[in-house]
Amino acid sequence: MVKQNSSLYDKLSLDLLAGFYFEIHKNIEKGILSDAMYHEIRLMEQSALRRGISLEYLHDKGSRIIKEEKLLRGTP
């Protein structure tokens, strides 16, 4: 059996991982961040999958966390 390497993302809380995942993905789509950031997205996805978390759940949770944070700060 091959041991999978862990990453910094494995040490993050689920909320922080989901928030990063959503924001980085959104900024890549907007063209704010380069396609090179897809490497980071893949590391986050691998971390989520190692935790047994679906990518859809990760994205949805990240979206909710960011929306809640914006409401708390009163930003659009």
Q: Which residue type is seen at 2? A: V
Kindly give the confidence (pLDDT) of every residue in the chain, 76 residues in length, as a single tens digit, with 9 standing for 90 and above.
445 677 899 999 999 999 999 999 898 888 888 777 888 999 999 999 999 999 999 999 999 999 998 898 887 7
φ, ψ for residue 29, nearest 5 deg: -60, -35
Query: What predicted TM-score, i.e. pTM, was given to this entire model?
Result: 0.81
Question: Which residue type occupies 63?
Answer: S
